[in-house]
Chain A
Amino acid sequence: MTEQKVTETADIGVSDDYEAKYGFHDDIKPVFKARKGLDLEIINQMCDIKDEPDWMREYRHKAYEIYKQKAMIKWGGDLSQLDFDNIYYYVKASDRAERSWDDVPDDIKKTFDRLGIPEAERKFLAGVGAQYDSEVVYHSVEKELEKIGVIFVSMDTAVSEYPDLVKEYFGTLIPSADNKFAALNSAIWSGGSFIYIPPGVKVDYPLQAYFRINSENMGQFERTLIIVDEGAEVHYVEGCTAPTFSSESLHSAVVEIICKKGSRVRYTTIQNWANNVYNLVTKRAFAYEDATMEWIDGNLGSKLTMKYPSVYMKGKGAHGEILSIAFATKGQHQDAGGKVIHCAPYTTSKIVSKSISKDGGRSSYRGELKVLKGAHGCKSSVVCDALILDEESRSDTYPVIEIGESDVNIGHEARVSKIGEEQLFYLMSRGLSEDEASTMIVNGFIEPLVKELPMEYAVEMNRLIQLQMEGSVG
């Protein structure tokens, strides 16, 4: 029966109307048979299932063409092991590969224990079937947000319910042609968040992707668009410290944030993807006059992460800040950092990068500080600290600094250290074991970032570091 359907599908042009041809009822969705690799048919079938408007379908088609033409990037991490044709690019949540609880590695289970993750969430995070329904939490938040005019929906919903807003801003910071993975995301994106904060509205508690978590939203190619209008304020948090399973190994998200005049925006990410995941992300924010944009970026998991959140200071007096931690253990490469581009005068920026490598892991800082011509009176400070915990591990720094004006105040510091013998001795002389002392030192090392996290994340982060130091996290 299934085979017949597939044959019939192939006879019809993909953009033809299934309903008309087959007389399907409105409430039955067309069957989508997931398969590996990416082509127009898959993109179109996805559009059909989502019931997307033509303008988005066209956007995807164009992006796909660009994706095909662009050469693979040759810098950053090692992508040679990633077989692009052997990946599912779109899988409906209900069809996602699952595993049984017995197959979940012991150290992952142990981490859940130590982090105190609730039962229902554990199964979900570990990829053990069952949709996790956080709808209850979300709905109560939703009501409050509605009252103040805040829009917080999935990107899919936004395309159909707020098309004008989406059309105005989607792809304006990160066009499909920006890089190969932006093109890929633009072609096959699914899930992600859309947020709009009206002028003057200050949301005083963090909006969390976790409120709306379900399999759809934990996709490989999430697309997030955040528009913060004049004088408004918001803090958005995505990801979680608990180790998160993914059946698919390629994740390539795109996040665009528009910070209008006088707004304040903070975007916090803690990523702890399973160690089969390639996490290649493009994140960019435009900060207009007197606006402040802060990226807090925690990279703990994945096999390879390539991520350099950036802030373009587009208006006078804008401020951009990037606080980044990368922790690479065995078999991991965290290629992280940030970019700050001063496009307007009297703008300021700050990058603080803390990286830790252990057990042969590799942590790299890759950053860019640019002051364009005409951007007078700018100030920027970049500090990259690397902590290498043993002989097998590695840390690299690739800073790029391009200054187009002479009246600027620029500071760049890079430090590499290992855990000091004197520090260890001092702490041990107070009763701490060597492990406890090392953990304390590492936690102290990342404290400047941890203290910016919401309380529960900070606690989880410290506990996670403790586990990483004991070498017991998968």
Chain B
Amino acid sequence: MSTELVIKDLHISVEGTPIIKNLNLTVRQGEIHALMGPNGSGKSTLANALMGHPLYEIDSGEVTFDGVDVLELESNERAKLGLFLAFQYPTAVPGVSMANFLRMAVSAVRSGNSNGSETKLIPMREFRRELRTKMKQLGVDESFARRYLNDGFSGGEKKRAEVLQLAMLEPKIAILDETDSGLDIDAVRIVGESVNQLIGPNLGVLIITHYPRLLNYIRPEFVHIMLDGRIVESGGWELAQLLEEKGYGPIREKYGISEEVLANEGDQDPLFSLRR
């Protein structure tokens, strides 16, 4: 029985402005989905709201994880169910080492204890062994563990730290929010290859991106196109290829969504190309 993340008729506003308008999507363990859309289509809003960001108001709709109503739960409770979000802009927490943080996070998620009771920490030696193994697997240098969480990290380092957390926390469904943004070619390859190592029947992945570079490395079975707060089309790999060839223009025309509706339509990646 694989875990399902089911999003039904979801409407979300931010400070009174509707951003997500009637979105429907189901992601299962073992499946790889790509959610693509131009800037301003609401992709990051969706990702953050699914994780429980306090700023996003759920207007209506339902999100269940293994049948459990997720919208009623705090962020940490969602994490304990097995949901993970790799942030587009990971927050820095100065003074907290990656190792200490990871030990706390892994202990919290694995213990599954409810809010109010104290998390029992995984014994140090056991944790260190696991961390070392995973870091080696992902090709992350051991000195990384001593650095302060996202503090002074380059863009690439932040994304790799997110992937390391994904590896350590072993979620059932992971949302990767623009994990390739701000990275050069090599960094994208490293992130892509790392995530590939973690892909398997126990992990459902929702890759959110507006250009398909990362998809060169992580081939999705399901591709969804998001415009103006909802999914307008779903298909397979050929949909991504279409976007690569034609851009978002034709799709926008098809659904009658003009350019003015989209906010912050900005930088298109000049290396917008697929490699077979």
Contacts and interface: CB of A to CB of B under 8 A. Distances in A.
A428 B74 contact: yes
Contacts of A430: 76, 79, 101, 104-105, 108-109, 165, 169
Given A425-B53, A425-B54, A444-B148, A432 B93 contact: no
B21 interface: no
B120 to A, nearest CB: 12
Given A421-B54, A425-B53, A432 B108 contact: yes
Contacts of B108: 430-433, 436
Interface in A408-439: 420-423, 425-434, 436-437
B75 interface: yes
Nearest to A444: B95
Nearest to A425: B53
Nearest to A427: B93
Given A422-B91, A423-B91, A426-B90, A433 B96 contact: no
Interface stretch (A57-65, A100-108, A177-185, A445-453): A445-453
A441 interface: yes
A319 B91 CA distance: 35
Nearest to A440: B96
B152 interface: no
> Which of A422, A433, A443, A447 counts the most B-chain CB atoms under 10 A from its CB?
A433
B87 to A, nearest CB: 7
A431 B96 contact: no
A444 B94 contact: yes
> Which of A421, A422, A437, A443 counts the most B-chain CB atoms under 10 A from its CB?
A422
Nearest to A437: B76
B169 A426 contact: no
B85 interface: yes
A420 B169 contact: no
Contacts of B149: 444
A427 B76 CA distance: 8
B248 to A, nearest CB: 29
Given A425-B75, A436-B108, A431 B80 contact: yes
B225 interface: no
Contact of A448 (B54, B87, B95, B101): B95
A436 B114 CA distance: 13
A387 B182 CA distance: 32
Contacts of A422: 91
A115 to B, nearest CB: 15
Interface in A206-223: none
Given A425-B54, A431-B80, A444-B148, A436 B104 contact: yes
Contacts of A429: 51-52, 75-76, 78-79, 84-85, 87
B76 A428 contact: yes
A422 B53 CA distance: 9
A425 B48 CA distance: 10
B104 A441 contact: no
B238 to A, nearest CB: 34
A444 to B, nearest CB: 3
A433 B112 CA distance: 11
Nearest to A439: B104
B115 interface: yes
B119 interface: yes
B115 A433 contact: yes
A463 to B, nearest CB: 12
A431 B93 contact: no
A420 B55 CA distance: 13
> Which of B78, B93, B100 counts the most A-chain CB atoms under 10 A from its CB?
B93
Contacts of B105: 427, 430-432
A431 to B, nearest CB: 3
A407 to B, nearest CB: 32
Contacts of A436: 104, 108, 119
B199 to A, nearest CB: 21
Interface string B9-26: 000000000000000000
B76 A433 contact: yes
Given A428-B76, A429-B85, A445 B94 contact: yes
B54 A431 contact: no
B96 A447 contact: yes
B207 to A, nearest CB: 18
A334 B51 CA distance: 39
Contacts of A445: 94-95
Contacts of A431: 76, 79-80, 105-106, 108-109, 169
A423 B75 CA distance: 12
Interface in B40-95: 51-55, 74-76, 78-80, 84-85, 87, 90-95
Contacts of A425: 51-54, 75, 91
B146 to A, nearest CB: 11
Contacts of A437: 76
Contacts of A441: 93, 96
Interface in A104-131: none
B96 A432 contact: no
A425 B50 CA distance: 12
A426 B95 CA distance: 15
A156 B55 CA distance: 62
A425 B108 CA distance: 15
Contacts of B53: 425
A427 B109 CA distance: 12
A38 B92 CA distance: 54
A447 B119 CA distance: 22
Contacts of B92: 423
A446 B84 CA distance: 29
A444 B96 contact: yes
> Which of A428, A430, A431, A448 counts the most B-chain CB atoms under 10 A from its CB?
A431
Interface in B138-196: 148-149, 165, 169
Contacts of B93: 423, 426-427, 440-441, 444
B104 A420 contact: no
Contacts of B106: 431
Contact of A426 (B91, B94, B119, B148): B91
A443 B149 CA distance: 13
B76 A447 contact: no
Contacts of A421: 54-55
7 contacts: A426-B91, A427-B105, A431-B80, A436-B104, A440-B93, A447-B94, A447-B148
Given A429-B85, A430-B108, A430-B169, 15 more contacts: A421-B55, A426-B90, A427-B93, A428-B79, A430-B109, A430-B165, A431-B105, A432-B104, A432-B119, A433-B74, A443-B96, A444-B95, A447-B94, A447-B96, A447-B148
Interface of B: 51-55, 74-76, 78-80, 84-85, 87, 90-96, 100-101, 104-106, 108-109, 115-116, 119, 148-149, 165, 169
